[in-house]
Amino acid sequence: MSQIRIFDTTLRDGEQSPGCSMNLKEKIEIAKCLEAMKVDIIEAGFAISSPGDFESVNTIAKTIRGCTIASLARALEKDIDCAWDAVKVAADPRIHLFIATSPLHMEYKLKMSPEQVLERAAAMTAYAKKYCSNIEFSAEDATRSDREFLAKVVEVAIKNGANTINIPDTVGYTTPNEMRDLIEYLIKTVPNSDKAIFSLHCHNDLGMATANSLAGVLGGACQIECTVNGLGERAGNTSLEEVVMAMHTRPDIFEGITTNIDTTQIYRASSTVYNVIGQKAPLNKHIVGQNAFAHE
């Protein structure tokens, strides 16, 4: 039996969707829906990005007791310090740090060499580990990274204290076969891969975020990062309701794979999020749309 952790980032990545910003009261309302739905981890925000984001992460960490509460942080000491200050009051706090690993991002975004990225990943994971034991490391733009280099980064992150390794498809570029193959490669190649669980964070630019996430699970990943209604930057993130119900509905394919999600709470959470952002579900939206179970 394999338990898939559901990591909800509606309040962080979802809020980055144009026109979907939320105030503190609305974020608390959504966080309570996520808790009732029994998501495993709530990424409450990016604490250092603004005083308002810090306040919302900190308030959610104080309010929600039934989920792990995470804050995103760049691989910088000031970000990690701020993330910890925001989540340290949580029942189970998590620091989620990231650094880019693709040639394009390293050269033009970070202006760092691969060796510098490797050193930074090791040092900042160790720095975060001094605060808490629940550390997630993300290799931004992992699906466009050199595989051998990616494996080295993952190895040093685990060696320095990361117990969750996230493999993001940051620009929604990959396909299901590629994603499954990449997860299988990393689990097989990284010598200390058994010391961490592997996670997926897929974007929907080519309409394959759900398929890519499910393929990664079949490859051995044990955490899916997703958002209610698939909210997120550009074309959105993996949709929570889609991946959960796909695994729930098709045990013949996802044999022995389960989640903690209370599926009776999905519609309520979906409706709450749509109400908060002032939108309605498209009529043909999977799982939660008005026509999802309607027949002419």
CA distances in angstroms from 138 to 95, 125, 143, 198, listed in the order given: 11, 10, 12, 10
Q: What pLDDT does residue 282 have?
A: 86
How far is C-alpha 264 from the chain's CA centre?
Answer: 22
Bigger pLDDT: 91 vs 295:
91
pLDDT bin (cut points 50, 70, 90) of residue 69 is very high
In the chain, what is the greatest distance between 2 CA atoms, to the nearest angstrom? 60
**For residue 155, which of 102, 117, 124, 192 has the smallest C-alpha distance?**
192
**1 pLDDT more than 80:** no
Q: What pLDDT does residue 147 have?
A: 98
Q: What tens digit of pLDDT does each residue of 137-150 get?
A: 999 999 999 999 99
In this structure, of 16-20, 180-184, 282-286, the range with the lowest mean pLDDT score is 16-20
CA distances in angstroms from 169 to 6, 11, 56, 119, listed in the order given: 17, 19, 27, 23
Q: What pLDDT does residue 276 have?
A: 95
Phi, then psi, of 41 in degrees rounded to 5: -135, 135
Do the Cβ atoms of 256 and 2 come closer than 8 Å?
yes
Q: What pLDDT does residue 175 have?
A: 98
Which amino acid, 137? Answer: F
Q: What pLDDT does residue 160 have?
A: 98
How many Å apart are CA 231 and CA 233, to the nearest integer?
Answer: 7
Q: What pLDDT does residue 192 have?
A: 98
Report the chain's mean pLDDT, rounded to a whole number: 96
**176 pLDDT more than 90:** yes
The residue with tokens 């609305």 is 26
Q: What tens digit of pLDDT does each residue of 223-267 get?
A: 999 999 999 999 999 999 999 999 999 999 999 999 999 999 999
Please, what sign has the CA dihedral across residues 169, 172, 174, 177? Answer: positive
How many Å apart are CA 127 and CA 111, to the nearest integer?
Answer: 22
How many Å apart are CA 90 and CA 153, to the nearest integer?
Answer: 29
Do the Cβ atoms of 212 and 177 come closer than 8 Å?
no
Q: What tens digit of pLDDT does each residue of 115-140 get?
A: 999 999 999 999 999 999 999 999 99
Which structure tokens are listed for 74?
Answer: 């760049």
Secondary structure (3-state) at 228: helix
38: left (phi over 0), alpha (psi -120 to 50) or beta: left
Bigger pLDDT: 243 vs 1:
243
- Measure the CA dihedral 183/184/188/192, to 10°: 30
**Helix, strand and coil percent figures for the chain, each rounded to 5:** 45, 20, 35
How many Å apart are CA 122 and CA 133, to the nearest integer?
Answer: 15
Q: What tens digit of pLDDT does each residue of 185-236 get?
A: 999 999 999 999 999 999 999 999 999 999 999 999 999 999 999 999 999 9
**295 pLDDT more than 80:** no
